[in-house]
Amino acid sequence: MPPLADWLPRVGASLIDGLITGVPILIGYGVMIGAAISQSANDSSNDAPPAFALILLLVGMLASLGLGLWNRVFRQGRTGQSVGKSVLHLRLVDSRTGQPIGAGRAFLREFLSGVFNNACFFDSLWPLWDDQKQTWHDKVVNTYVVRT
């Protein structure tokens, strides 16, 4: 088994992945805000955002969801690496076999990460003092993040 990944590179990989999935929704929000400001300057009696801005926001949300599923579930499940992990030379592996975990377990891992991080932020910090450098969602799904 390759050496376990330290906390800081894992955080960096998550930030890169977050930037990738966040760009489309930020564009959608930017268009929405710009349209609202423009509309309020021209017509103060109408508070509803223009239809095109709502559509672009919805498209941005769907694109962000799609990119997240592709990157963190399908790509990471198949290869062990999201875009962020590949940039920082990390890999998600099964704790028993050392192989990628597949899309199903990758989805469960992401779902549990969301649940645990919303319930208590300690999930993201747990690798700092855990002997196996695992988060709670890693422990439940039996995975390690290793250096490549």
In a domain, 58, yes or no: yes
Buried b (16+ CB within 10 A) or exposed e, 70-80: ebbbebbbeeb
pLDDT at 36: 82
Q: Is there a domain that residue 2 lies in?
A: no
Q: Which residues contact 74 (CB under 8 A, 6 or more apart)?
A: 103, 106
Number of domains in the chain: 1
Provide the pLDDT for residue 44. 64
Residue-wise pLDDT tens for the chain (148 aa)?
899 999 999 999 999 999 999 999 999 999 998 888 888 777 666 677 788 989 999 999 999 999 999 999 999 999 999 999 999 999 999 999 999 999 999 999 999 999 999 998 899 999 999 999 999 999 999 999 999 9
Kindly give the interhelix angle for 7-42 and 51-68, rounded to the nearest 10 degrees.
Answer: 170
Supply the pLDDT for residue 37: 84
Provide the domain limits for residue 30: 7-147
pTM metric for this prediction: 0.88
* Domain assignment of residue 83, yes or no: yes
The verdict on residue 97 lying in a domain is yes
Is 1 within a domain?
no
Residue 53 within any structural domain of the chain: yes
Residue 92 lies in a domain: yes
Asked if residue 132 is part of any domain, the answer here is yes
Query: What pLDDT is recorded for position 16?
Result: 98
Total length of the chain: 148
